A and B are shown apart, each in its own frame.
Chain A
Amino acid sequence: MNIIFYLAAAVAIVATLLVVTRLNAVHALLYLIVSLLAVAVVFYTLGAPFVAALEVIIYAGAIMVLFVFVIMMLNLGPQATETERGWAEPELWFGPALLCGVLLGEVIYLILRMPTGTTLARVGTPEQVGVALYGPYLLGVELASLLLLAGLVGAYHLGRRAPHEEPGGGV
């Protein structure tokens, strides 16, 4: 079990280091996704599968898609095709793919040895977390919903087409 943790933690740190050092935003973003996936595996080894799943679905999934989306929008320009060609180059995807391969191997190993019992804790099942959220943390859930409302309205206002831009034009 320990080796799984160390490996996942090492992947997380290496990927994060590359987030800092890769100059191209797309490269950095790919490594950021790997870093988040590695942290999800760490959560899993710590016995928090629910949090690990949320990390993959919301963080590495939804939020990172937003980032990808915005980076794509910022890349619309004369150099877009050049960038497009760059994305097919192996040195871009090889690093993230390698690190993801390590994580995949870990997950497969974990799933295979699951029946013999991993360190699934007694507390922290989705059901219990849900009961806590709608029990003592009820106000917190309401506040989080207000926060999402603020995010939604804010992004709507900022994202709408500028008054003088003709329809269909520009970012």
Chain B
Amino acid sequence: MTWADLPALYPMLIPAATAVLLLLTLTVRRDARLAAGVAMAGFIAGLLALAASAAELSHPVTMLLTVDRFAVVFWGILLFAGLLVSVFAVGYFRTLREPREEFYLLWLLAVVGAMVMAASAHFAAFFLGLELLSVSLYVLIAYPRMQSRAVEAGVKYLILAGASSAFVLFGMALTYAATGTLTFAELFTHLTLFPGDVLLLGGVVMILVGVGFKLALVPFHFWTPDVYEGAPLPVTAAVATVSKGAAFALLTRLLLGVIQAQPGHSTLAVIFTLLALASMIVGNLLALAQGNLKRLLAYSSIANMGYALTAFIAGGDAARVAIPYFFAGYIVAVLAAFGVMTQLSTPEHELQEVEDYRGLAWRYPWSAALLTVALLSLAGIPLTAGFLGKFFVLTAGMAAGRWTLVVTLVLTSGLGLYYYLRVITALYQAPLEGEQPTPPPLHLPHRLSVLTGLALAVLAALLLLLGVYPSPVLHLLAWP
């Protein structure tokens, strides 16, 4: 590593340095707003520094990381999500009767971990990034530790994520025994040369268990609904966006080349196809029965990872556009949905049930409108980001002739429409006769903070922009 390598890493080093800076400011002054401001400044500076990284493409930085266009695009998505989650957290945690400053410090570190995963070229970087993300998330999930549900969710995530990390590590050890290398590049060589090596395949499959857990693919999804429900809303948004984005970026980095190089019915391709089919079907079916919006979004995210996996299995140039585009759309929509929920909630009283949102449009028309657009985008309705994302995924799937996946995607999306529309209908229903209109917590301010309003407006604009005018983004995504 030399000084010349540093500029490429600035987008990651700046949030990391900000975390240390934040620690130092805490020794001088404990102030939640100041801490949030420092964290946001760190994320914004990281986003600005992306320009420096983008200038030097395909830049290996030591053997651990590779900063290429793909990494830069995902870094952008992750930093953006990081910034917005911090904005949401400011409003959400305002009633928390506990120190709130450490939240932002841990959140910065979690995003750095996610960024390491998205750029990793070596198992050591992969594992360290994964653990940095996981360990921070354990604490973030259980952060409001006076809330029993948050602590319960924290313990569940701790034990299951710990087990999945152990699977990843054991898989790495087996892979190392089989190949003698820890770099992704050499793993690729070995996997294409010896696709039938049992030790190697066993190792890769164990790594997939861990990645599948982070992506909540069926059958590794059991933790998802409980953790989504119990975690504080901004952290739920983080688990749904940053954690999944990082895991998918890593999966792409690790295995997209292998899937493409191997014949269409290789063991790995079959495994991935089964995971994708199961996730799409089970995710959408279980979402149908949910009365809790957080759990509904949990199952919806399971199904969405199935869609993304479809593009991954298809491979080819189409997938190289489809995966980042789909993720950009998915993450913006999820952030918008959780953003609206967050600004109506506090740690002590979260609006979780679909019933709580009945008649929202009559009290908060703008919030209801944004939630509507976000849900429509998740459902894949035209003119929204989600539609184009799904469209690119379908194109990739058809180009590769993965008809089973394509047909399942279309059918299950139709199913998905039903439960999203159920929520949207509730938003516009008149409040129940004879009852008080849904009381959002009384201590809520009746105006948004400027910052939250701005964040929600940006999300709304992006949802529509990504849905109707894709060419600037596609240009950015043209992934060498």
Interface residues of A (CB under 8 A from B): 136-140, 143-144, 146-147, 149-151, 153-154, 156-158, 160, 162-163
Contacts and interface: CB of A to CB of B under 8 A. Distances in A.
Nearest to B22: A153
A153 B105 contact: yes
Nearest to B110: A150
Given A137-B124, A140-B64, A146 B109 contact: yes
A146 B132 contact: yes
A77 to B, nearest CB: 19
B63 interface: yes
Given A146-B109, A146-B112, A163-B98, A136 B62 contact: yes
Interface stretch (B137-145, B223-231, B346-354, B436-444): B137-145
A157 B139 contact: yes
Nearest to B145: A158
Nearest to B124: A140
A150 B132 contact: yes
19 contacts: A136-B63, A136-B64, A137-B62, A139-B65, A139-B125, A140-B64, A140-B125, A143-B116, A146-B16, A146-B113, A147-B132, A149-B19, A150-B110, A153-B139, A154-B106, A157-B102, A158-B145, A160-B99, A163-B98
Contacts of B142: 158
Given A162-B145, A163-B146, A143 B125 contact: yes
Given A137-B124, A140-B64, A146-B16, A154 B138 contact: yes
Contacts of B432: none
The interface size bin for chain B is 35 or more
Contacts of A137: 62, 64, 124
A143 B98 contact: no
B135 A154 contact: yes
B292 interface: no
A149 B261 CA distance: 40
A139 B62 contact: yes
Contact of B97 (A143, A153, A156, A163): A163
A117 to B, nearest CB: 27
B267 interface: no
Nearest to A140: B124
B330 to A, nearest CB: 26
Contact of B135 (A140, A151, A160, A162): A151
Given A136-B62, A143-B125, 7 more contacts: A146-B16, A146-B132, A151-B135, A154-B102, A156-B102, A157-B102, A158-B145
